Amino acid sequence: MSPMQNPTLRLDLDHLRLGEREVLRDLHLTLRPGEWVAVVGPNGAGKSTLLRALAGLLPSGGALRLDDRPWPLLSRRERAQALAWLGPAELDGTGTELRAEEAVMLGRLPHQGWMGLASAADRQAVTEALAAVDALPWRHRPLHTLSAGERQRVLLARALAVHAPVLLLDEPLTHLDSPHQADWLRLMRAQAAQGRAVCSVLHELHLALRADRLWVLSQGRVAYDGPAQQPAAREALQAAFGQRLRFVPDDDGWLALPA
Amino acid sequence: MRTLLSHLLAWASAALLSSAALANTGPLTHTDDLGRQVTLRAPPQRIVAIGPSLVESLCAVGGCDRLVGVDRFSNHPAMVNALPKLGGLGEVSLEQVLRLKPDLVLLTPASRLHDRIAQLGLPVLALDAQSLPEVRRLLRHMAVLVGAPERAEAVWAQMQREIDAAAAELPSSWHGRSVYFEVDPTPYAAGEASFIGAVLARLQLKNIVPAALGTFPQLNPEFVIRAQPALVIVGQREAPNLAQRPGWAGVPAVRHGRVCALPRADGDVVGRPGPRVGDAARALVRCVRALPPP
Amino acid sequence: MRWQPLALTLLLLALSGGLLLLGTSVGAQGLDAALWQAPSLVTELRLPRSLAAWGCGALLGLAGAIAQGLFRNPLADPYLLGASAGASLGVALALVLAGSAGGALMAGSGWGLNLAAFAGAWAALGLTVLLSRGVSHTPRLLLAGVIVGVVLAAATQGLTLLDPSTLRPMQSFMLGSTSLLGWSQVALSLPLLAIALLLALMSSRTLDALGLGEATARSLGLPLDGTRALLLALLALCSGAAVAQCGLVAFVGLVAPHTVRALGVSRYRWLLPLSAISGGGLLLAADIVSRWVAAPIELPVGLPTALLGGAYLLSRLPRGEAR
């Protein structure tokens, strides 16, 4: 099965519900190859829910299309090879005795046979992914013995190891220290440059503002869907956060500080 | 003068004798198996007995007509079946007990109701018998309770006669043969020291389980096989399965068909230490006689 | 200390072999090598009993590893979803029916009881899945399992009260018994173990991935519902078969996976078979102890397993926060 070559992911959904509650409405979003989109908004705006919908993890799969193929028509394997999803940090790492490299190797599952035997290519991918997040020194250590930040980087590596053309990351910078946040920024830019479609939910607004595109969620809708560098983006952010932000220019972009 | 003295003496001795007779029906203090003491002003007339051994022992010494309530499992003699059944050995209906207005309640020491019933103001005695000598002691207790202490020995003597009569029915070729009595397929055996073991001993059968191993030990099946018993006595339910147990096909009893399958009703009698030990001996002998003699 | 899984497998197998040898040497007189004097004792009694006890323990170890992986809970054991309560009820029913006039069917009670326990375990599991309306929602499964377990246990109690002659056999069952295991039990449990292990190994990657969370596992393209259904069926099969032969042996299913994890095994490809081998060794060791300590009197095998298992868990109790 040949991997998808840089597909486009589209979500067209009138109502995004979580159980009985409507979380978002009027969603018409496109994630294009080579583009890094940051999803921002106040707490509870539905960012994680949106990302799950994009990953096909919610029952609303019918509204999702990969290129022109409806999501439900794709096989489980095609989906897993096309899209890598990293959940929010509280979701895991401590419930397992797996070692770091074993956890990253799980990211190769979409490419492996049912026996799950690792090929040389798989091992190569794992090593590269661990190197990219600077986690090689503890590749043999069990996840639960790592610090939260170290563990988060390993989980990131797991998502990278899938080599999927679409990357969906939910709060990937949780627990990461500044140098590694900076590393991650470079990594995301590199992934996009290679033609991948990257979408990340971020709390760190100063990093989000460095993305290619910004989706601002507020009041159950997408309040802004456009380039991140434009003033309109910052205005939308201000509105979404109740005018409690102060934007300060920086070498590379903008900093968002509490007002 | 002399006649007056002799009249006085006659009168005095009559008074003494009658008071002695009265003493038999006067207040008595009974001590039960738990060491608790209960004083009854008069021999009890309305007795509740929870436990088949207790019921049977009481009836054996003539106290059956004093019974007003028994437990669910007491079924002998026939007349107790007409009495109110007050529940199992552990869960007795206290309300029903109270309604019967007993003047004495008999329980086994294992029952947890002792304190509760005593709290309700009823005299309670905890008695039991697990071996033949204990049955004798239980009979004596019961006989004293009904005010006829001499009856205990009479019943005991009758029991001995019945055992001897049953033993006489067993062909002498069985004497000295080894026997394995299984109480439960785990396997649990009845050893020499148990009630069943005592009866088997009176039948001149040699128990493969010596007294040192306890009354009802759980055995390694290998022990039974090594002992090569000439006779095996099990419950009717287990008897057909013996040959299938690993290694048991070679046991002499199984090989020669000398397996006594005790019917369930007989199991009641054999397993219950009480005055029906004669019936128990007879049941065992009946079962063994049906087998090919050694 | 970290063991290479293959080396560990060989070691545990060797240990099991040693225990088997010991098992053939412990009998009604304690330790005695009957092989020369009475070989039939070894071939008809001690060898099949030891093998079958190992087989039972292996089934329990495997079931325990599956349960702990499926529910991400290190305290899970094979009896978790009501299987033990169902098996007990089955046995109680069979005993009560065998006592009645219509119990002629149960006359072959040796196999009748085994079948009743097995069927009971499956019925309980079916009830649990029914109650939780499917296998997809793990917390609901667990809760349903608890409910089924409690209700069936009460029903079993009620039955034993109704017919107290079942009290002692039920007690033996609840404490576990390896006394009457023979070649027919070996012929049943070992092939079953092999099949169950093979099928479980097919799900080992999914079990690994579940450690990263259910959503992640799903996003990796794993067939979660199908795998869960398979694993639950295997759980019922293994624990049902073990309970049918050896009664309710405590701790083996719980402790065996822990012993293997403590030796550094983290992936289910190794955790599953090694838990089986460890469980087998544990139950066999307990069986030997139960035969040896007070020979010719036997302890119910559940006692040494509780002691051994409890002691092991105590030794693993964390002495403080270690990072």
> Would you state the pLDDT for residue B94?
87
How far apart CA B5 and CA A210 sit, in angstroms, is: 137
Helices (H), chain B: 2-24, 52-60, 94-99, 114-119, 132-145, 151-169, 195-202, 221-227, 252-255, 264-271, 277-289
Q: How far is CA A69 from each of CA A62, A74, A111, B52, rounded to the nearest angstrom?
A: 10, 7, 20, 80
Amino acid at B271: G
Which residue in chain C has the smallest CA separation from B189? Answer: C297
Cβ–Cβ gap B185/C180 under 8 Å: yes
User: What residues of chain C lie within 8 A of the CB of B85, using their CB?
Assistant: none
Mutate to test the interface with A, among C218, C220, C267 (most CBs of A within 10 A): C220
Buried b (16+ CB within 10 A) or exposed e, A128-143: ebbebbebeebbebbb
Instruction: Count CB neighbours of C197 within 10 A.
Output: 18
Percentage of chain B modeled with pLDDT above 90: 55
For chain C, the average pLDDT equals: 87
Cβ burial of A56 (10 Å; 0-12, 13-18, 19+) is buried
- Of the candidates A81, A83, A106, the beta carbon closest to that of C208 is on A106
Question: Is pLDDT of B30 > 60?
Answer: yes
Cβ–Cβ gap C219/A83 under 8 Å: yes
Does the beta carbon of C149 lie under 8 angstroms from any beta carbon of chain B? no
For chain B, the average pLDDT equals: 87
A33 close to A59: Cβ distance less than 8 angstroms: no
User: What residues of chain B lie within 8 A of the CB of C98, using their CB?
Assistant: 237
How far apart CA C239 and CA C250 sit, in angstroms, is: 12
Q: Name the neighbours of C, counting chains with at least 3 Cβ pairs within 8 A.
A: A, B
Does the beta carbon of A142 lie under 8 angstroms from any beta carbon of chain C? yes
Please report which confidence band the pLDDT of residue B11 belongs to, taking 50, 70 and 90 as the band edges.
low
Reported as a single tens digit per residue, the pLDDT across C4-46 is: 889 999 999 999 999 999 998 888 887 887 677 778 888 888 9
Question: Is pLDDT of B66 > 50?
Answer: yes
Cβ–Cβ gap B218/C297 under 8 Å: yes
Cβ–Cβ gap C45/B184 under 8 Å: no
Mutate to test the interface with A, among C75, C198, C219 (most CBs of A within 10 A): C219
Which residue in chain B has the smallest CA separation from C247? Answer: B186
Cβ–Cβ gap C216/A79 under 8 Å: no
User: What residues of chain B lie within 8 A of the CB of C291, using their CB?
Assistant: 220
Q: In chain C, positions 106-125, which contact chain B (CB-CB < 8 Å)?
A: 106-110
Beta bridge partners of A10: A30, A65
Q: Which two tokens stand for residue A190?
A: 């590199």
Does the beta carbon of A103 lie under 8 angstroms from any beta carbon of chain C? yes
Reported as a single tens digit per residue, the pLDDT across C244-275 is: 888 889 899 999 999 999 888 989 999 999 99
Q: Which two tokens stand for residue A77?
A: 């394997």
Question: Is pLDDT of C101 > 50?
Answer: no
> Would you state the pLDDT for residue B21?
46
Please report which confidence band the pLDDT of residue C319 belongs to, taking 50, 70 and 90 as the band edges.
low
> Would you state the pLDDT for residue C43?
85
Please report which confidence band the pLDDT of residue B268 belongs to, taking 50, 70 and 90 as the band edges.
confident
Q: How many angstroms away from the CA of C45 is the closest CA of chain B?
A: 6
Does the beta carbon of B271 lie under 8 angstroms from any beta carbon of chain C? no
Mutate to test the interface with B, among C44, C111, C174 (most CBs of B within 10 A): C44
**Cα end-to-end distance, chain A, whole Å:** 52
Reported as a single tens digit per residue, the pLDDT across C57-94 is: 999 999 999 999 998 888 898 988 888 899 989 988 88
Cβ–Cβ gap C211/A92 under 8 Å: yes
> Would you state the pLDDT for residue B88?
78
Compare B265 and A121 and report the one with higher pLDDT: A121
Q: What is the pTM of this model?
A: 0.86
Q: In chain C, positions 28-67, which contact chain B (CB-CB < 8 Å)?
A: 28, 38, 40-41, 44-46, 48-49
ipTM: 0.90
C81 close to C145: Cβ distance less than 8 angstroms: yes
How many Å separate Cα A162 from the centre of its chain?
A: 13
User: What residues of chain A lie within 8 A of the CB of C223, using their CB?
Assistant: 76
Which residue in chain C has the smallest CA separation from A93? Answer: C212
The torsion angles phi and psi of B290, rounded to 5 degrees, stand at: -70, -10
> Would you state the pLDDT for residue C100?
53
Low-confidence stretches of chain A (pLDDT < 50) are: 1-3
Reported as a single tens digit per residue, the pLDDT across B191-201 is: 998 899 999 99
Among candidates C276, C115, C243, C256, which has minimal Cα distance to C176? C243
How far apart CA B185 and CA B55 sit, in angstroms, is: 29
Q: Name the neighbours of A, counting chains with at least 3 Cβ pairs within 8 A.
A: C
Cβ–Cβ gap C45/B222 under 8 Å: yes
> Would you state the pLDDT for residue C104?
40
Q: Name the neighbours of B, counting chains with at least 3 Cβ pairs within 8 A.
A: C
- Of the candidates B73, B89, B222, the beta carbon closest to that of C41 is on B222
Question: Is pLDDT of C278 > 90?
Answer: yes
Question: Is pLDDT of B289 > 80?
Answer: yes
> Would you state the pLDDT for residue C105?
41
Does the beta carbon of C211 lie under 8 angstroms from any beta carbon of chain A? yes
> Would you state the pLDDT for residue A148?
87
